[in-house]
Amino acid sequence: MLRFAKAGLIGTALLGAMATTASAEIKCNDGSQLIQGNWMATPYCQDKLLAQVANARGFKTSFAAIRNNPNHKKELCRFLFSDIRVQMTCLDAGVPEYFGGGR
């Protein structure tokens, strides 16, 4: 009976250790995501950076609002486009909008 109790405790400890090693958290730094040891610009992290810059500049917004509403993202970009940290993000969102092709 004692042998089964020890085996059960060891099995539980191993399962607990295996469950904690996998982390699905996305790590972002200045608009770049850590992917297999390399930092790459991704839309997810770019949106997170846009939310941080917008909040720092006094806009009341959230990361979820930017991710869920592309028009909210464009609206923020119209005001924040001059900030070099978010220029590429805003260009990808279609801001600034040029009409007429210079005619």
Q: What is the pLDDT of residue 12?
A: 60
Mean pLDDT (whole number) for 73-78: 96
**11 within domain boundaries:** no
Question: Is 0.75 surpassed by the pTM of this model?
Answer: no
Res. 96 pLDDT band, cuts 50 70 90: confident
**16 within domain boundaries:** no
Smallest Cα–Cα separation from 45: which of 62, 61, 58, 26? 26
Q: Which domain holds residue 39?
A: 26-93
**33 within domain boundaries:** yes
Number of domains in the chain: 1
For the stretch 14-73, pLDDT in tens is 555 555 556 789 999 999 999 999 999 999 999 999 999 999 999 999 999 999 999 999
**84 within domain boundaries:** yes
Range with the largest mean pLDDT of 11-15, 41-45, 99-103? 41-45
**1 within domain boundaries:** no
**87 within domain boundaries:** yes
**9 within domain boundaries:** no
**12 within domain boundaries:** no
Smallest Cα–Cα separation from 52: which of 70, 33, 28, 74? 28
